[in-house]
Amino acid sequence: MRRIAAVAAMATLLVTAVGVAPAQAQGSGDRDRGFRQVGYFTQWGIYGRAFPVKKLDTSGAAARLTHLNYAFGNVSPDGRCYVDGAAPEGDPWADYQRPVPAEESVDGVADTWGEPLNGNFGQLQKLKVKHPDLKVLISLGGWSWSTHFSDAALTDASRKALVASCIDLYLKGNLPNPDGSAGGPGTLHGVFDGIDLDWEWPGAPGDVDTVYRPEDKQNFTALVAEFRRQLDAYGRTEKKHFELSAFLPANPANIDAGYEVPKVMRNLDFATVQGYDFHGTWEATANQQSALRIPAGAPGPTFSIETTIAAWRDRGAPRDKLVVGIPYYGRGWAGVTGGRNGLFGTSTGGAAPATFEAGSEDYKVLKTKVGTDGYRVYRDLRAGTAWLYNGNTFWTYDDPVVVLQKALWIRTQGLGGAMVWSLDGDDDNATLTKTLHLGLWTP
């Protein structure tokens, strides 16, 4: 009980600190301590969520991150990295064609039509000028764009072609230039510092049209090795180390179906591990989606960060390469009755209404529900989870107290750091990102 009280007390102090101590920003000394603080920036966040690259700077988030993953790059049916303007296969307008107005620009200077690099990529270039230690990686795939990974990884020749195309597009920076304006040879050079592989999932079902086959397991190993080989070869010409990471699943069945763990980890700089979506509205029971430990009384098969990390460690993953995923969004059920203040209750209303997607809501919105419409925050500090409940609607989410608890656990376990999906879910003060940073690096 004393330990739980200490966590709660420290959370209060640190959460207060993030609001009043912007000078606590991460410096190069912090980056040398070994932890990684990785955040995903979504290409589409500039639209409805009104989250341009500039907010990473003005909120203080960029100063706390070691790595920024840009989501996502696509793999074409013929097994190449590509940028295609045909929705929903890509958005080059957002990526590098859109002239960003002065009020959304990192340096306050508006883009003009016809510059070689506009859009998000141009803003990332400006962000790196202000934050030169920040590593920016292009994340390939994601749930919707893992469709053609299995085909692209199928043979030695196809793997070589995929990797070469990704390096040519994102690292050498040879963007398409179909209309003679933005893009062209070398225009993206120097913006990306590596590649993140987000194949969901080798050897197991993913999105409805995603191809998978049993041999994905060995082919993923070979694909990672090919990325490492070509990245190192290109890095020698640039006198630079290009980083390689991968996003990994929580489900042990997916681990065993798709990953030769020691072989894969040998060629990765680090791996981000799914620490969320343990449960959701595809189930009728209102349950935790991102608990640190399995709560007492949890019904049926369940997951937690602790059991997920143990599964990877048991299969040979080095602890200092495992980066724990943390959600900046919650999962919600409507019509929930019973359970422990809603937890493990039964939902008769399905997915709770939300801003963009029923059953999923950003932290910045969920925090405003506290104390309104009958919502109260409930906690299980031993399990490391929190939820909102008003007698009808249940939201499982990570608030600053939970984020801090996870950061401290990462430290005690000697893990590689933390990753968040996604940065646009935080509030304008980057409260969760600052709390995570303080938990990871405060002595």
Q: Are 397 and 388 in contact (CB under 8 A)?
A: yes
What's the pLDDT score for residue 181?
82
115 noted as active-site residue: no
- CA 108 from chain centre, in angstroms, equals 27
Q: Are 233 and 287 in contact (CB under 8 A)?
A: no
Which residue in the list 200, 226, 243, 361 is annotated as catalytic?
200
Q: Which of 286, 263, 259, 283 is nearest to 273 (CA)?
A: 259
* Tens of pLDDT, residue by residue, the chain (443 residues): 444 444 445 555 444 444 433 333 344 344 445 799 999 999 999 999 999 999 999 999 999 999 999 999 999 999 999 997 766 778 999 999 999 999 999 999 999 998 999 999 999 999 999 999 999 999 999 999 999 999 999 999 999 999 999 999 999 999 999 877 899 999 999 999 999 999 999 999 999 999 999 999 999 999 999 999 999 999 999 999 999 999 999 999 999 999 999 999 999 999 999 999 999 999 999 999 999 999 999 998 999 999 999 999 999 999 999 999 999 999 999 999 999 999 999 999 999 999 999 999 999 999 999 999 999 999 999 999 999 999 999 999 999 999 999 999 999 999 999 999 999 999 999 999 999 999 999 87
What's the one-letter identity of residue 359?
A: G
Reduce the DSSP state of residue 400 to 3 states and report it. Answer: helix
Cα within 13 Å of Cα(428), Cβ side: 3
Spatial separation of the C-alpha atoms in residues 30 and 153, rounded to whole Å: 37
Least Cα distance to 196 among 51, 45, 36, 68 occurs for 68
Q: Which amino acid is at 443?
A: P
DSSP secondary structure letter of residue 417:
E
What values do phi and psi take at 154, rounded to 5?
A: -70, -40
The whole-number pLDDT of residue 203 equals 98
- Among 20, 102, 92, residue whose Cα is nearest residue 54: 102
Is the distance from CB of 366 to CB of 373 less than 8 angstroms?
no
Query: In 297-393, at which residue ranges do the beta strands (DSSP E only) sit?
Result: 322-327, 329-333, 336-337, 346-347, 360-362, 376-380, 385-389
* 44 phi and psi angles, rounded to 5 deg: -85, -5
Q: Cα–Cα distance between 254 and 206 in angstroms, integer?
A: 10
Asked, as a colleague might, if the bond just before 318 is cis with ω within 30 of 0, I would say: no
Give the Cβ contact number of residue 60 at 10 Å: 21
The answer to whether the beta carbons of residues 37 and 67 sit under 8 Å apart is yes
What SS3 class is residue 298?
coil
Distance CA 224, CA 222 (A): 5
Task: Say if CB 354 and CB 364 are below 8 A apart.
Answer: no
Rounded Cα–Cα distance for residues 197 and 143 (Å): 12
What domains lie within the chain, and their CATH numbers?
2-328+400-441 (3.20.20.80)
Q: Tell me, what's the pLDDT at 9?
A: 53
Calpha distance 215→222 (Å, rounded): 11
Residues in CB range of 31: below 8 A, 6 or more apart: 66, 133
Distance CA 385, CA 381 (A): 6
Residue 60: both structure tokens together: 């203080």
Q: Pairing state of beta strands 67-75 and 81-82?
A: antiparallel
Structure tokens at 75: 């793999």
Output the pLDDT for position 103: 98
How large is the greatest C-alpha to C-alpha distance in the chain, in angstroms? 65
Strands (E), 54-106: 67-75, 81-82
The 3-state DSSP class for residue 180 equals coil
CA distances from residue 9 to 1, 5, 170, 237 in whole angstroms, order as listed? 12, 6, 45, 51
The structure's pTM equals: 0.94
In one letter, which amino acid is 342?
Answer: G
- The pLDDT tens digits of the residues spanning 193-223 come to 999 999 999 999 999 999 999 999 999 999 9
The terminus-to-terminus CA distance of the chain in angstroms comes to 23
Structure tokens at 109: 């200077």
Q: Which residues of 190-225 are buried (b: 16+ CB within 10 A; e: fewer)?
A: ebbbbbbbbbbbbbbebeeebebeeebbebbbbbbb
Residue whose C-alpha is closest to residue 403's, from 416, 386, 388: 386
